[in-house]
Amino acid sequence: MTMRTYLAAAALLAGLAVLPTTVQARDISCRMTFQMSGWSVFYKTATGSGTVTCSNGQSMHVKLRAKGGGLTFGKTKIDHGVGRFTGVNSIADIKGHYANAEAHAGAEKSADAQVVTKGSVSLALSGKGEGWNLGIAFGAFIIE
């Protein structure tokens, strides 16, 4: 083999080594449908489940938890929640603890919307449900 052939092969291998990181760096869009229920008396807790589907064909069933505290009272249930993720490179990026702060009030039929963040990943949540609640709470939204 000539020196030119070695250099061409080395350039090709170097280009292939860079390619996977370039492809992984692209954001994908992911959407979550979910249901949750919980209560609060100074301490707020809720549990639920959902399904995340992404634009690259990946999907995952998830368990959801919310916990925190503040000046909050109530009992709520969300039946048809929707979440939209941004800043996701892989479906694995969605798992973890998201910071959350909220003010809420509702009686009987209610609606809620909030944005939670985890590093560069954000999740916009919205949902309709029933229950009653009033207060301000800080805490974590956890996806497992």
Instruction: Quote the domain boundaries for residue 57.
Output: 27-143
pLDDT of 54 over the 50 cut: yes
Determine phi and psi for 45, rounding to 5 degrees. -145, 145
Number of domains in the chain: 1
Domain contains 3 = no
H or E segment to which residue 19 belongs: helix 3-24
- Tell me, yes or no, whether 110 lies in a domain: yes
Worst-scoring range by mean pLDDT, 34-43, 114-123, 132-141? Answer: 132-141
Instruction: Tell whether 108 is covered by a domain.
Output: yes
pLDDT at residue 31 tops 90? yes
What phi-psi label fits residue 42: left (phi over 0), alpha (psi between -120 and 50 degrees) or beta? Answer: left
Amino acid 20: pLDDT: 43
Q: Does a structural domain hold residue 11?
A: no
Q: Which residues contact 99 (CB under 8 A, 6 or more apart)?
A: 116, 117, 118, 140
Residue 133 lies in a domain: yes
In a domain, 118, yes or no: yes
Would 17 be classed as within a structural domain? no
Within a domain: 15: no
Report d(CA 3, CA 8) in Å as an integer.
Answer: 9
Residue 106 banded pLDDT, cuts 50, 70, 90: low
